[in-house]
Structure formats: structure tokens, C-alpha cells
Amino acid sequence: MNAASALELHQKTATQVLPEPSLHIGGEVVTATRRGTLDRIDPTTGHVLAAFPLAGESEVDQAVRAARQAFPAWRRMPADKRRRLLWDIARAIEAHEQELNQIVALETGFPVAGGGMTMAIDYFEYYAGWVDKFEGELITAYPQPALDYVKYEPHGVIGAFVPFNGPVLNTAMKLAPAFAAGNCVVLKSPELSPFGVMRLAEILRDAGLPDGVFSVLSGDKETGQAIIRHPDVAKVVFTGGGTVARSIMSVAAESLTPVTLELGGKSANLIFADADLDAAAHVAAFVSTVAVAGQGCLFPTRLMVEESVYDEVLERVVAVSNSPTIGDPLDPTVGMGPVISESAADRILSMVDEARSGARVVAGGERLQTDLGGNSFVRPTVLADVDPSSTIAQQEVFGPVLAVMPFKDEAHALKMANSTEHGLAAYVHTNDLKRAHRVADGLVAGWVGVNGFPDLTASAPFGGVKGSGFGREGGRAGIEEYVYQKNVHVPLS
């Protein structure tokens, strides 16, 4: 297929699958606001993908009021009925999986097979099972006899914020436990990937979700601050970067609104000499420099290798990073698409250029021009002999860049691994079982993978420590973020 035909097919697909740009407020579709619209540029082609409406204070208030109106009936919906509804939502997402993957590929540049729908389905299935199992506690009462018990109550209206990478998946990670606990959600879609969440709102309504339980507002910083400041928003949950998180906490502090934050990472990946080097190198290179163009908060972007196998592992890593087919993310044979925007590509390459003075660029390190016309493609990049204290080793790049450095022994590896402000994830590769447990115990991170990159399942708690935030998504801990404890004391004499 020639370049013109490939571009034409890409744009035709966009016309066919993108939903009408709109806000979804209390079951109503709003296509225009006083604040106007914002263009979303297709990262693959550089052309305008579509313009979407910006929500203002008026739209935020409408959405929150609709949620407050829906909340009493929603929280008291019989458990068996809500359980079936969450299961029906999972089946609806499954039925639209290909469509949602295409929308996410268009707006993010992620390969069409990597939209995260399987995990989104998993979250709704898993939390459907929690609806009728989230039980309270009976407390031993003294000094007088009494019936003292604890109930778990939904907060009410949740203000939710999701990042551009995996927008539908990240939305599901918040909606499923919030709905299971009986909350309503007003969600601000990401500016760089608003369309998948818009389509998800349509799918959920068609699946039977009552009006007002879920509203989607596309917008900008002003939209977000209006959600956080609304007096009827009982809690805020956010996934994204530390800078925005600090701003959210500052605004939420005005009314003491509680927050849950899942933030960025600079995850260490420790490869010891006794590991399966082929498997370990593949995980290190593919996850950090190829998969979704390195745009994942938990990716192992700092590779630390025992000195005796350093050159051997580096050679394997470079081979994997040089291997993917890069191009149109809608093409199922393509392994890597563009990063999210041209400005993101500029920022990533600027960080790589800064690192050249102290490290060797052994793969990539440059922009890739394609026949599709976009200027957001960055080659998978590997930096060797990186100073552990350098910017490229300390700050999240959020792009296809892997920083590689040697270590002398276990103590040295742990010291380097724990030397950043982040604490989201970490990884260790070794065939020594005792070492695996020792190192996992010594890593300061909320999530540790041993000898691989584990699936992020709905049943396991995920979240960070230090500058990577607080609170958890997944497992029992995930639903506990959406409830508060109410103690009831009834005297018996």
C-alpha cells in the first residue's frame, strides 16, 4: 500500500469509528458549550482528528446535580441487580472491544491490540463480584451491653480524572469499584484522548446504567478545578503526573476533600547474573521502549544489570529495541506507534539530548519520519552507562527511553533502585529464590514483579509510595477507596 492510500485508509477509519464529540451529563448529550471547543491532533498524521467541547462551571454543576439526584436510588439498588448490571457492562465492553480499541489507537497512537479492553472487562467482572460481599463488622461493646456495628457507606459523588494513556482502561479501573460501592461518578476525560471515554459513556447507558450515575466532561484545567471545588463532590480520584497532582491537592485542600492519587514512576529493573538473560532483556527492552511507546507509569525504565553480564544484557536489549515495526497504530502488524503528541516527542528527545553528555546512546535517540505525515514518532532509545543521579535516571520521561547502568552487588543495586522520589513499581530478575525475596523486601515500591512483567489484574492492589502517590486500585483495597466507615451503637440496656 502506498503512502497516500495508507493515509486515506487511516482517515477513513477515523471518520467511521470516532463518536460525536460531546459531553454526557445525566443521560443527556451536549455537543456545544459557551467555552467553545479544543482540537485534538492525530499523533499519527498531524491532522486534526476532531474538535471536542469544553465544559465549564455550568456543565460541571449540571453533572454534579444529576449525580446527587441519582445517588439515593443508586446506592439502594438491590445488590443482585447492581451485580448483574456491572456484569452486563463488562459484556457490553466486550461486544464493542474492537471499536474501542480503534478509537483509543486513533487518539493515543497506541497499537490497536493494546487498548486495554481486556483489563477493563476484568475490572467490571471482578467488582461485580464484590457488590454482595462487602460486609461490615460487629464490634465487641463495653462497658455496657450494646449492639455496635460498622457499615461501609459510599461517599456519594466522586470526581474522577484519568490520564491519556489507556483512557478507557483507566476509567474502568475507577468506575467499577466506585459503582460496586454505590457511588456516582463525574469524570473529566483527558484532553489528549477524550473520545474513547465519550463512547464508553454511550455504551454504559445502553447497557442499563441509570441516568446521572456517570457523566463525562471533556475539558481543560478550568474544568478540572470546577469539579474539585464543587461542594457536592465528596472525593477526588486522580491518575497522572506529580505536578498536576500537587495542584489537585491544593484545590481539594480548600474544602478538605479527600483524594486518591496514582502518580508516575521511575521503576527500577534489577537483572542479576544468574537470571534468564534472554527473558529478562526482552522484558526490559520491550516494555520500556516498544510497548505503547514507553508511555506507562509502571514501566521498568531504569535497567540495572550486574557488572559481570552488563555487556551481554545490553546487547540483547539493543536488539529488542531495534526490532519493532513502527507505523500506523491501526495496522495490526505494527508493534509501535507514535507518542501522544509532537510536543511530547520534542520533550522526550530534549531529555535524551541532555543525557548524551554523560551516557552513550546505543539505540534510537531520534525522531522517525513516516509516510503518514505525523511528527510524533520517536525511535526506541537505549542509553548505556547512565549516571544513577542524572536527570534521565531520576525523572520520568514517559516515552520510549531506557536508562541502563551497572551494579556491583545486591546492596549496591538496592541503593540505586531506591534512590529516586518515586515508588510505584520495581522488578527483579534472578533464579535465586532467597535473593528474589530479599530484594523484593528491600525495594521501596508499591508493586514488585519477579522474573517478568506481571499482568495488572483487578484482583491485586496497585499503587505507589513516596512521590508515586497514595491509595490503591484493584482488590479489596481498591473498593475501600470508595467507602467510609460508619459506626452504629445501639444500647441494649
pLDDT of residue 317: 98
Is 332 in a helix, a strand, or coil? Answer: coil
Other C-beta atoms within 10 Å of 423: how many? Answer: 23
The average pLDDT across 46-71 equals: 97
The average pLDDT across 158-175 equals: 97
50 Cβ neighbours under 8 A, 6+ residues apart = 14, 18, 21, 39, 40, 195
Weakest-pLDDT range from 11-15, 181-185, 191-195, 471-475:
11-15
Residue 44 contacts residue 102 (beta carbons within 8 Å): no
| C-alpha to C-alpha distance for 445 and 423, rounded to whole angstroms | 4
pLDDT of residue 7: 87
pLDDT of residue 115: 67
pLDDT in tens, 92-104: 999 999 999 999 9
147 pairs with which residues across the strands? Answer: 490
pLDDT of residue 387: 98
| C-alpha to C-alpha distance for 332 and 20, rounded to whole angstroms | 25
Exposure string (b/e) for 266-281, b if CB count within 10 Å is 16 or more? bbbbbbbeebebeebb
Closest of 61, 469, 8, 7 to residue 265, by C-alpha: 469
Closest of 372, 363, 210 to residue 289, by C-alpha: 363
Strands, E assignment, 68-183: 137-139, 146-154, 157-161
Helices 97-108 + 79-95 axis angle, to 10: 70
Which residues are catalytically annotated? 262, 297
Domains of the chain: 3-263+470-486 (3.40.605.10), 268-457 (3.40.309.10)
| C-alpha to C-alpha distance for 78 and 80, rounded to whole angstroms | 6
Q: Residue 116: which pLDDT band, with cuts at 50, 70 and 90? A: confident
pLDDT in tens, 230-276: 999 999 999 999 999 999 999 999 999 999 999 999 999 999 999 99
Q: Residue 1: which pLDDT band, with cuts at 50, 70 and 90? A: low
Length of the chain: 493
In percent, the amount of the chain with pLDDT more than 90 equals: 96
Residue for cell digits 522526550? 348
Q: Residue 37: which pLDDT band, with cuts at 50, 70 and 90? A: very high
pLDDT of residue 102: 96
pLDDT of residue 403: 98
Q: Does 3 have pLDDT greater than 80?
A: no
Q: Does 336 have pLDDT greater than 80?
A: yes
pLDDT of residue 454: 87
| C-alpha to C-alpha distance for 414 and 424, rounded to whole angstroms | 15
pLDDT in tens, 437-490: 999 999 999 999 999 998 889 999 999 999 999 999 999 999 999 999 999 999
